[in-house]
Amino acid sequence: MRLDQYLSKAMGISRSQSRKLIASGQVTVDGQLCKAADFQLGENPQVTAQGKALVVKEFVYIMLHKPQGIVSASRDKRDKTVVDLVAKDFPRRELFPAGRLDKTSTGFVLLTDDGALAHRLLAPKRHVTKEYLVELDTPLTPEMIRGFEEGVTLADGQTMQPAQVSNPDPSRPCLVRVLLRQGVYHQIKRMFGVYGAGVNALHRTAIGGVALDPALEPGQWRELTREELEKLQRD
């Protein structure tokens, strides 16, 4: 990789900004001052800019707590997107959500530029489990629990893979924990719709064994820890 390219990736600045920085004599490579923007870096270069050591991450992985009213897309003509919420901190990255939540839904959205990982997480064959907390407009019934376990047939005739539903809090009979391995459009709403139940709120709490960090308020995000990433890569 060229030095100016490395700097713009590592610092999230434009190519012309990195060229200026290099020309101003504030960049070193392997301990030597380097003023050539087209300098070709070797394996594992030690690059500093303004005295700080830089690292280029090949990919980024962001855990976002999606608020209501935001669309799960990279760009949208009308609405604010999940990528808009983080974009200013990652100006040189082509981020996208690995799996969608409806505009009204909240919770864990994974943003990344690692297409291979996203593909693996979303591939129907891999069955990565997602966990949701859902508030229904009617109490959960044994008929729903049985139906979800067997595989609900939607109004359009598609039969869903088996899913688990349970009530995590007996004092709130309309609250349901859902474990799902598929990602069909409006799937949970349509599955409960078969039983005449409406969804008042839907929140994703975990993806593949990685839980949404409770310290993140709606709209807040952080990068995944190494352990969390390894969990998703193993799933």
Give the residues lining the site for ligand URA (CB under 6 A).
101-102, 105, 186-189, 202
- Which one, 29 or 144, has the nearer CB to ligand URA? 144
Measured from the CB of residue 101, what is the shortest distance to ligand URA in angstroms?
A: 4
- Which one, 135 or 223, has the nearer CB to ligand URA? 135
Quick check: 193 and 144 in contact, CB under 8 A?
A: no
Q: Extract the runs of DSSP E, i.e. beta strands, from 129-207.
A: 130-136, 164-166, 175-180, 199-207
Residue 102: active-site member: yes
| CA 53 – CA 60 distance, rounded (Å) | 19
Cite the DSSP H helix spans in 30-107: none
Residue of 102, 137, 156, 235 marked active site = 102
Residue 108, SS3?
Answer: strand
Measured from the CB of residue 193, what is the shortest distance to ligand URA in angstroms?
A: 9
Residue 32, SS3?
Answer: strand
- Which one, 8 or 105, has the nearer CB to ligand URA? 105
Strand partners, 8: none
Positions marked active-site: 102
